[in-house]
């Protein structure tokens, strides 16, 4: 475990993988990925919090195989933000975050968040600029399908299959769901050790201030059925600015906490909100992940299962803490 000053360490076991820097990792070796989300500050901001800098230092010290962002890299989603401002935000993200990871030769995978250029037609101009940016900065991944990149794409690493979907708004386009079903049902995915899906909005409400329609996938049960019936093992999301892990059927759901403005409390919890970063480690002979979640706003403490609510009762469903004998490392 890496002990970084000012970080709380949360240990959990999971299953996931990613892509190595400069060369793509092969099956049968240890694998490490860092999951970040919701980096942005207030609308139009080109600045990032000191906590983002702390996490970049942590990533540099860890040298993971992949950094995966669950969305909201910039601070858009405001109609009066002009093109110069939007381009400036992406330039700031490039200069302050992406280039640093590139210098470290750590690949970066992402899913669009609502502030990056929502799929809503009201923010088509923001999505156009986001697509342009990522067209020029396409990550070095082992792509399986990149026809719909950067909105949707899939890649494989260390025998783990990843599908990134556009869940930047509550409604996921039917053609994107069809694409996802094809990806999960593909021979490549079915042969993989694990199948992981990433999208910005969670399926079920988790956090205070986000317990409402529009802040979750609108047809959550239908998306869950798609994942369950097509063999998905994990769904990673952001947007709710609070870390939680739950399980429904075979699907484990990881809600990544925020690093930018506005960390939130979990539903029904009085525990202080905290900015977090999550590290996933897959041992060479393992089938589940060892997850280490750091709180960037507190001291060095280990959060055990009993410190998270056993269940979260959201308006559109209940999330049950994933707390099997293997889920949390003592």
**Residues 172-190: what's their mean pLDDT?**
98
- Residue 67's DSSP bridge partners are 34, 108
pLDDT for position 53: 94
pLDDT for position 25: 53
Tell me whether residue 200 is in a domain.
yes
**Cα–Cα distance measured from residue 265 to residue 281, given in angstroms and rounded to the nearest whole number:** 26
Is the sign of the CA dihedral 9, 289, 26, 276 positive or negative?
A: negative
83 CB neighbour count, 10 Å cutoff: 11
* Residue that the structure tokens 């399980």 belong to: 247
Tell me whether residue 267 is in a domain.
yes
Say what percent of the chain tops pLDDT 90. Answer: 73
CATH number, domain at 260?
3.60.21.10
Q: What's CA 321's distance to the chain center, in Å?
A: 18
Tell me whether residue 288 is in a domain.
no
pLDDT digits (tens, 9 = 90+) for 131-146: 999 999 999 999 999 9
**Residues 62-83: what's their mean pLDDT?**
94
Tell me whether residue 292 is in a domain.
no
The answer on pLDDT for 81 being more than 80 is yes
**Residues 66-73: what's their mean pLDDT?**
97
Tell me whether residue 287 is in a domain.
no
* Residue that the structure tokens 């589940």 belong to: 288
Is the sign of the CA dihedral 2, 301, 235, 129 positive or negative?
A: negative
pLDDT for position 5: 43
Smallest CA-to-CA distance from 243 within 231, 259, 232 is with 259
**Residues 259-277: what's their mean pLDDT?**
95
| Residue 91: its H or E element | helix 83-93
The answer on pLDDT for 242 being more than 90 is yes
**Residues 212-240: what's their mean pLDDT?**
98
**Cα–Cα distance measured from residue 19 to residue 208, given in angstroms and rounded to the nearest whole number:** 34
Tell me whether residue 127 is in a domain.
yes
pLDDT for position 290: 84
pLDDT for position 1: 45
**Cα–Cα distance measured from residue 136 to residue 210, given in angstroms and rounded to the nearest whole number:** 33
Under the phi-then-psi rule, with left for phi > 0, alpha for psi from -120 to 50, and beta for the rest, what region is 72? left
The answer on pLDDT for 237 being more than 60 is yes
Phi and psi (nearest 5°) for 163? -125, 125
Spatial neighbors of 118 by CB under 8 A, at least 6 apart, are 76, 77, 112, 126, 127, 168, 169
Tell me whether residue 41 is in a domain.
yes
Smallest CA-to-CA distance from 21 within 100, 104, 136, 143 is with 104
Is the distance from CB of 242 to CB of 265 less than 8 angstroms?
Answer: yes
pLDDT for position 8: 41
The answer on pLDDT for 14 being more than 90 is no
pLDDT for position 20: 33
The answer on pLDDT for 10 being more than 90 is no
Which domain does 17 fall in, by range? 8-279+297-320
Mean pLDDT estimate for the chain:
88
pLDDT for position 294: 87
**Cα–Cα distance measured from residue 295 to residue 293, given in angstroms and rounded to the nearest whole number:** 7
**Total domains in the fold of the chain:** 1
pLDDT for position 96: 98
Tell me whether residue 330 is in a domain.
no
**Cα–Cα distance measured from residue 129 to residue 135, given in angstroms and rounded to the nearest whole number:** 10
Q: Which residue has the higher pLDDT, 205 or 329?
A: 205
**Cα–Cα distance measured from residue 326 to residue 158, given in angstroms and rounded to the nearest whole number:** 22
**Residues 40-64: what's their mean pLDDT?**
95
Spatial neighbors of 3 by CB under 8 A, at least 6 apart, are 9, 300
Beta strands in 37-110 (DSSP E): 66-69, 108-110
Tell me how many degrees the CA angle 100-105-111 measures, rounded to the nearest 5: 75
């Amino acid at each position: 475990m890496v002990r970084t000053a000012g970080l709380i360490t949360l240990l959990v076991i999971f299953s996931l993988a990613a892509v190595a820097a400069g060369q793509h990792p092969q099956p049968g070796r240890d694998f490490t990925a860092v999951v970040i989300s919701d980096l942005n500050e207030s609308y139009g901001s080109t600045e990032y919090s000191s906590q983002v800098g702390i996490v970049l230092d942590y990533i540099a010290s860890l040298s993971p195989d992949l950094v995966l962002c669950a969305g909201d890299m910039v601070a858009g989603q405001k109609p009066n933000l002009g093109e110069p401002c939007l381009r400036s935000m992406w330039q700031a993200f490039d200069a302050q975050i992406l280039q640093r990871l590139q210098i470290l030769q750590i690949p970066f995978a992402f899913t669009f968040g609502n502030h990056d250029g929502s799929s809503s037609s009201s923010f088509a101009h923001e999505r156009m600029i986001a697509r342009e940016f990522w067209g020029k900065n396409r990550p070095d991944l082992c792509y399986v399908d990149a026809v719909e990149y950067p909105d949707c794409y899939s890649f494989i690493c260390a025998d783990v299959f990843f599908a990134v979907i556009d869940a930047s708004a509550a409604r996921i386009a039917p053609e994107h769901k069809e694409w996802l079903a094809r990806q999960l049902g593909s021979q490549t995915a079915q042969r993989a050790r694990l199948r992981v899906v990433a999208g910005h909005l969670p399926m079920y409400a988790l956090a205070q201030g986000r317990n409402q329609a529009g802040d979750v996938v609108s047809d959550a049960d239908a998306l869950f059925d798609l994942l369950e019936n097509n063999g998905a093992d994990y769904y990673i999301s952001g947007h709710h600015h609070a870390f939680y892990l739950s399980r429904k059927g075979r699907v484990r759901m990881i809600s990544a906490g925020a690093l930018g403005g506005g960390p939130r409390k979990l539903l029904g919890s009085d525990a202080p909100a905290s900015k977090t970063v999550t590290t996933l480690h897959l041992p060479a002979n393992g089938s589940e992940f060892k997850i280490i979640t750091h709180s960037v706003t507190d001291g060095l403490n280990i959060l055990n299962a009993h410190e998270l609510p056993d269940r979260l009762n959201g308006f559109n469903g209940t999330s049950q803490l994933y707390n099997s004998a293997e889920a949390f490392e003592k």
